[in-house]
Amino acid sequence: MVGERYEVEVGPVAHGGGHCVARHEGRVLFVRHALPGERVVALVTEGTTRSRFLRADAVEILEPAKDRITPPCPFSGPGKCGGCDWQHVSPGGQRKLKVQVLTEQLAKLAGLTPAEAGWDGSIEPVGGKLPAGQVPAWRTRVQYAVEPETGKVGLRKHRSHEIQPIDRCLIAAEGVTELGIEARDWPGVVSVEVIAASGSSDRQVVLTPAPGAQLPLVELDKPVSITRVDDQGNTHRVHGRSFVRERAAGRTWRISNGGFWQIHPEAPDTLVDAVLDGLDPQWGENALDLYCGVGLFAGALADRVGDDGAVLGIESAKQAVIDARHNLAALDNVRIECDRVETVLPRTGITATDLIVLDPPRAGAGRETVEHLVGLSARRIAYVACDPAALARDLAFFREGGYRPVSLRAFDLFPMTHHFECVAILEPVE
């Protein structure tokens, strides 16, 4: 079955993985490097005669769609780098595909039309619109894999441990590219993660050595801090700072040891503005910031609710909590607790609050957490989501608890990929 070629008519885009749906003799094929409406030759890459569906790559385009372009990246295409899903699609075409995915997930999992979700049906470009063929260099964090035999860096192929050697990643931010990671060898290293802060000149390289190997002497084109990851996944400062400094929402933020921060330089301010616009915090209100990371939304809320209000942030990652407490140390109206949301929230004894913002991981918040939140009688809830299916599922749980979305915005923060970010604002049903 793997290696067989089928001529197929490509159907709609599917959620996740950057693939579209096609059928051959009644069996579903999830086809990458294709577009809806195209006729292609699909090469099967995964599946057997007993599989419910097959995975495939479009290796020959017989009838192209109007949004198809020549991929700007030489490492994009069937059997190559798996990082970008839609190098072969115009920028406007990419956003149209994301609109189709979000529309389908809202209908299928939440039973909502775009109008019922308060969504205008658009994916908002961030950083300005680009012409077809021009690639935005937006990614401020890139994790390279290293070929053990050669020490050369590359990026993983789609759904594979194989490495595609590269000499440049087109979507990498200038601060990443200027370090020249691809131009040198990395013997004894498994992976090289590069972090280029957009709010400062800080640059950090996080190295994971092979078992028993010594770290190489690192000489790069720009000043950089070096951090090592040990066999247990713990990080250790080798040279320079153990953190980078970012600037957003009127503050400088410390993010330590490769901790989470949005990878598009305009994402933090874009999302904070959307959350604050939707929640409209008032002086003296109380707020929860769940899955708060290094405190981005908590800080923004604290400024708006003032000394008469209070913000509780909850985060399970210990280093992120340490950073959040450092970042917000000057704010007496903020408290940060360290543990899982579903563990801490019941222990707080909080029975009501005015505002809630939650930014859960890709899996979403889930029924148990949503049920607890709807019992707190918040006047507004802001849900920040990186996965449209998890968002739609949780919106259905909120609706069961008496909350409905009054606005939904979607942002194209990850061009050339199938990913995007959403901010939904919910209110109690009257």
- Residues tagged active-site: 386
Amino acid at 126: V
Whole-angstrom distance, CA of residue 88 vs CA of residue 76: 8
Sorted by sequence, the CB contacts under 8 Å of residue 219 that are 6+ apart come out as 184
Buried b (16+ CB within 10 A) or exposed e, 299-322: bbbbbbbeeebbbbbbbbbebbbb
Whole-angstrom distance, CA of residue 57 vs CA of residue 78: 6
CB 44 within 8 A of CB 32: no
Q: How many other CB atoms are there within 10 angstroms of residue 331's CB atom? A: 17
Helix axis angle, 388-400 to 91-105, nearest 10°: 30
Q: Is 283 exposed, middle or buried (0-12, 13-18, 19+ CB in 10 A)?
A: exposed
Whole-angstrom distance, CA of residue 108 vs CA of residue 166: 39
Q: Is 420 exposed, middle or buried (0-12, 13-18, 19+ CB in 10 A)?
A: buried
Phi, psi of 296 (to 5 degrees): -55, -55
5: enclosing H helix or E strand: strand 5-13
State the Cα angle at 306 between 302 and 307, rounded to 5°. 110
Tokens coding 296: 């981005």
Q: In the block, which residue shows the tokens 């959350």?
A: 275
Whole-angstrom distance, CA of residue 253 vs CA of residue 296: 8
